[in-house]
Structure 1
Amino acid sequence: MTSTDFDVTIIGAGPSGTVAACLLMQHGLSVCLIERDEFPRFSIGESLLPQSMDYLRQANMLDALLDNADKLGFQFKNGAAFYRSGHHTNFNFEEKFSEGPGTTYQVKRAEFDNLLAEEAIKQGATIRFGQNVTNFTADDSGTCLDVVDLKTQQQSKITARFTLDGSGFGRVLPRLLDLEEPSELSPRKAIFTHFKDNIDCPKFDRNKILITVHPEIPDIWYWLIPFGDSTVSVGVVGETAQIEKPDQSLEQTLLNFIHEDDNLSTLLADAEIIAQVRTIGGYSANVKHLHGDKFALLGNAGEFLDPVFSSGVTIALRSAVQASELVVKQLQGEDVDWQNEYEVPLREGITVFKYFVNSWYDTSLQSVIFFADGQPDVKAMICSILAGYAWDKTNPFVKNTARGLRILEQICEPDNAAQDTAVV
């Protein structure tokens, strides 16, 4: 075989890329990550799910997170709180159905991604920041990436035996290889920023993300993610036509939406915006397939659903774990069926999350969430999926999500909340 620069190149140094790199290096493989941005840099996806902690552990990165969480202002997280027009409900992830970690962190992604990148470098990875991938080719000898240095405009080629794309919303290989497909989800938009929260409410639980349903438009919702330094990330999400206000600034639009909810307007009465108000739209995406000749797509580079259940990082890390195992096998000369060993099982969990997302927006899942308190066994199963365990087929709501949620929707109507759930 022709000599290559590295065993594996990875496009993007976000969570999927750095976790994949560390897993590959455990098998003695050389890895180079090509990252367009300079770190630290802003990113969305600040509320991790407990399932992610196990993937970080496998990559020998968990200790770095635990050791630096307080210093970086990360917030311990043990669940999710929901609010809708005076109705509160909580899901404690430590009371979930599935085995595995029940707690995690809410993180500032600039610092979190930078922490993981530094850990990958410590473990032996090469990371080239400020580099943009402009072309990809593959042949019998391996893969070749054409790369441009964004500061000097100097062009170079980096060869490897295999390439992973962890470029997230950059979606480098899907664009270069014409793999993109329209998402099945309706186009939505988010407006968000960080506040110095000044929250003075003894009932407010900083250990949980707060998800709020708009009091009049049930498919508009808000996130409030507390951090450990008395700041919060706050955003509002809805269909583009609902969220766009051409006659208002982004800041005013966000503040107006906050004022429309009684609970959020009270919690954030003394809050001060401390960061640029940003917007992102058309983020839901899909691809024709997640793999090809000597490449595979990780996380958001393949499919991104919606921020409502914070599934993005969990899917990204799950894909990194699954793909790295197969890359090792392939580079050791074993036959790998990427379709049935990677794409099919990865999409099984994504499909569970996708059903939850769609059911949230058609409000059927909202009924389940707000009326599940009288069904502790069922609540534990739903809690597992909210905690990221969307691949645990011992959970009836993973094994048959559509049927289970249809039954639950009927059971959890307020008048029926005491009925038996054995049919699930």
Structure 2
Amino acid sequence: MSTMQQTDVLIIGAGPSGSSAAALLRQKGYQVTVIERQYFPRFSIGESLLPQSMVFLEEAGLLDTVRAHVDEYAFQFKNGAAFLRGPQRSFYDFTEKFSEGPGTTWQVRRAQFDHLLALEAEKKGAEIRFGHEVTAVDVEPEHPVLTVKYEQGESYQIQGKFLLDASGFGRILPKFLDLESPSDFPVRRAVFTHIEDGILDDPDFDRQKILITVHDMDHRAWYWLIPFADGRSSFGIVAEQDFFEKYGFEDSTDQDLESLFKRILADDPSLSHVLRNAKFDTPVRTLVGYSANVKHLAERNYALLGNAGEFLDPVFSSGVTIALKSSSLAIPLVNKVLQGQSVDWMEEYEKPLRQGIQVFRAYVESWYSGEFQDVVFSTRQEDRIRRMISSLLAGYAWDTTNPIHKNAKQRLNTLAEYCREALPQES
């Protein structure tokens, strides 16, 4: 093994949190080395961005490069979310929201989106080492050390003055440092693919909105349909394991998964009609037990960003927004550390980040228990209430001026009770 390499800040992972963190650090002039196990572009889900993320992309100097490639990569302009449950339809326009800030964004293929961010971080001076895998972590010294293996099987050690884990579902530091703690969410499985959606001139379908469909036979299960601008869509279903077992689920081959997916779709007449001309032409994948939590998000010489720290659920597309928010919060604090100043990571990073995550958590839990579904599909919504909900769905979970932000779970339950009073008249 060669002599210890040195850098200012080490980042594990070149996804949105890693690339945005690298770009923000380069604005401050630090040497940044990113260790990324895969080669980009690579497939990833989480394609429906939230408008709040535009603020963080701009802050990191990454928004212009995304905007410049919208047409080339068929990124779809997005202005809201639509919902479908049997004959019921509902939608929220994110430009009509309570919070200040952008009301539109894009639906993106993450392979190209993530690659664009990484390339722009490189242009700004970050070094990204693709195909390099972290095999050991030592955070005991004042300056953390990574042992890294690369393609030829050779290894090296690299030391940084600070370490950021942006490894997403890989959760490198939680695994090496035994930081993982069980999520209190039920174990859910996602089955997903990209399709040629075949949706032509459907007056009930808006390509500018993600479509979230509640399964007609089990309201704990739901589909996402995320249209791109070229007639294709990301398509997935999320449910607890017992739901899939009713369909004879076998986690074995792509063909089994595609057959499973089609059988589940056939049991939902409303969505089957929307996708009546769809073609499944891409291997179907699955991911199970993705919700995660950790004992803490940061210590004196390292911090966890994005999904490496916590992932809730894909239902409201909060993953990329939380990832970018975490970088936005963490980098000023890393700067303080590197300048020799003290940082209270609990008060200055973990609590502020979790404040918004807890708001997301409240309406994810409320969705699966049914309260938020009844809110979404109720016609008994005053304009001011709709704007508050629209802000949350647009990603503005850290806007403490939004009345629904405080005691979010309790207020969502109260709102659901109010909306349910109208259900007999609506049926």
TM bucket normalised to smaller: over 0.9
Q: Is the 8 A contact 1:410 1:416 kept in 2?
A: no
Give the equivalent residue in structure 2 for 1:282: 289
Displacement of 1:374 in angstroms is 3.1
Give the equivalent residue in structure 1 for 2:180: 180
1:108 aligns with 2:109: yes
Displacement of 1:127 in angstroms is 0.2
Displacement of 1:396 in angstroms is 1.1
Displacement of 1:415 in angstroms is 2.3
Q: Is the 8 A contact 2:378 2:422 kept in 1?
A: no
Q: Which of 239, 253, 272 lines up with 2:260 in the alignment?
A: 253
Give the equivalent residue in structure 2 for 1:156: 156
Separation in structure 1 between the aligned mates of residue 169 and residue 406 of structure 2, nearest angstrom: 29
1:15-30 to 2 correspondence within 5 Å? 15-30=16-31
Deviations 1:310-357 (A, max 9, x none): 001100000011011100111111111001000011011111111111
Displacement of 1:65 in angstroms is 0.7
Separation in structure 1 between the aligned mates of residue 244 and residue 43 of structure 2, nearest angstrom: 22
- Give the aligned CA root-mean-square deviation in angstroms: 1.5
Q: Is the 8 A contact 2:75 2:109 kept in 1?
A: yes
Q: Is the 8 A contact 1:133 1:146 kept in 2?
A: yes
Give the equivalent residue in structure 1 for 2:54: 53
Q: Tell me the secondary structure at the aligned position of residue 66 of structure 1.
A: helix
1:65-80 to 2 correspondence within 5 Å? 65-80=66-81
Displacement of 1:138 in angstroms is 2.6
1:168 aligns with 2:171: no
Unpaired runs of 5+ in structure 1?
419-424
Q: Which of 295, 306, 309 lines up with 1:302 in the alignment?
A: 309
Separation in structure 1 between the aligned mates of residue 49 and residue 249 of structure 2, nearest angstrom: 33
Separation in structure 1 between the aligned mates of residue 417 and residue 203 of structure 2, nearest angstrom: 35
Displacement of 1:274 in angstroms is 2.4
Q: Which of 332, 349, 374 lines up with 2:356 in the alignment?
A: 349
Q: Is the 8 A contact 1:372 1:378 kept in 2?
A: no
1:336 aligns with 2:368: no
Give the equivalent residue in structure 2 for 1:422: none
Q: Is the 8 A contact 2:50 2:317 kept in 1?
A: yes
Displacement of 1:229 in angstroms is 1.0
For these two proteins, the number of residue pairs brought into alignment is: 415
Q: Tell me the secondary structure at the aligned position of residue 95 of structure 2.
A: helix
Q: Is the 8 A contact 2:138 2:146 kept in 1?
A: yes
Counterpart amino acid of residue 304 in structure 2: L
Give the equivalent residue in structure 2 for 1:421: none
Q: Tell me the secondary structure at the aligned position of residue 412 of structure 1.
A: helix
Deviations 1:198-221 (A, max 9, x none): 112133100000000011211000
Q: Which of 386, 410, 421 lines up with 2:417 in the alignment?
A: 410
1:370 aligns with 2:377: yes
The structure-2 alpha-carbon separation of the partners of 1:155 and 1:22, relative to structure 1 and needing over 3 Å to count, comes to: same
Q: Tell me the secondary structure at the aligned position of residue 265 of structure 1.
A: helix
Displacement of 1:416 in angstroms is 7.4
Separation in structure 1 between the aligned mates of residue 32 and residue 379 of structure 2, nearest angstrom: 46
Counterpart amino acid of residue 167 in structure 1: S
Unpaired runs of 5+ in structure 2?
none
1:258-273 to 2 correspondence within 5 Å? 258-273=265-280
Give the equivalent residue in structure 2 for 1:35: 36
Q: Which runs of 4+ in 1 moved over 4 A?
A: none
Counterpart amino acid of residue 162 in structure 2: F
The structure-2 alpha-carbon separation of the partners of 1:130 and 1:10, relative to structure 1 and needing over 3 Å to count, comes to: same
Q: TM-score, normalised by structure 2?
A: 0.95
Worse-matched range after superposition: 272-281 or 56-65 = 272-281
Give the equivalent residue in structure 2 for 1:135: 136
Q: Which of 277, 286, 299 lines up with 1:292 in the alignment?
A: 299
Separation in structure 2 between the aligned mates of residue 326 and residue 128 of structure 1, nearest angstrom: 25
Separation in structure 1 between the aligned mates of residue 410 and residue 379 of structure 2, nearest angstrom: 17
Q: Tell me the secondary structure at the aligned position of residue 32 of structure 1.
A: strand
Separation in structure 2 between the aligned mates of residue 414 and residue 91 of structure 1, nearest angstrom: 21
Deviations 1:20-56 (A, max 9, x none): 1101111111101100101110111110000000000
Q: TM-score, normalised by structure 1?
A: 0.95
Displacement of 1:231 in angstroms is 0.1
Deviations 1:354-380 (A, max 9, x none): 111111000011011111553111110
Q: Tell me the secondary structure at the aligned position of residue 397 of structure 2.
A: coil
Q: Is the 8 A contact 1:190 1:243 kept in 2?
A: no
1:235 aligns with 2:236: yes
Displacement of 1:417 in angstroms is 10
1:75-86 to 2 correspondence within 5 Å? 75-86=76-87
Q: Percent identity?
A: 53
Worse-matched range after superposition: 254-263 or 297-306 = 254-263
The structure-2 alpha-carbon separation of the partners of 1:197 and 1:210, relative to structure 1 and needing over 3 Å to count, comes to: same
Worse-matched range after superposition: 132-141 or 253-262 = 132-141
Displacement of 1:406 in angstroms is 1.8
Counterpart amino acid of residue 223 in structure 2: Y
